[in-house]
Amino acid sequence: MSHTLPELPYSSDALAPHISAETLGFHHGKHHAAYVSKMNAAIEGTAKADLPLEDLIRTSAKEGDQGLFNNAAQTWNHTFYWNSMTPKGGGAPKGDLAERIDRDFGSLEGFRKAFADAGASQFGSGWAWLAVKDGKLEVRKTLNAETPLTEDGVVPLLTMDVWEHAYYLDYQNRRPDYIETFLGKLVNWDFAAENLVKSGQ
What minimum distance in Å lies between the beta carbon of 42 and Mn ion? 19
What minimum distance in Å lies between the beta carbon of 96 and Mn ion? 30
Gap between the Cα atoms of 16 and 114, Å rounded = 26
What minimum distance in Å lies between the beta carbon of 35 and Mn ion? 9
Q: Which is nearer to Mn ion, 40 or 75 (CB)?
A: 75
Q: Contact positions toward Mn ion, by CB under 5 A?
A: 161, 163
Gap between the Cα atoms of 70 and 65, Å rounded = 9
Q: Which is nearer to Mn ion, 163 or 182 (CB)?
A: 163
Gap between the Cα atoms of 131 and 195, Å rounded = 9
What minimum distance in Å lies between the beta carbon of 134 and Mn ion? 29
Residue 83, amino acid: N
Q: Which is nearer to Mn ion, 161 or 170 (CB)?
A: 161
CB-nearest residue to Mn ion: 161
Q: Which is nearer to Mn ion, 97 or 130 (CB)?
A: 130
β-strand pairing of 136-143 with 154-161: unpaired
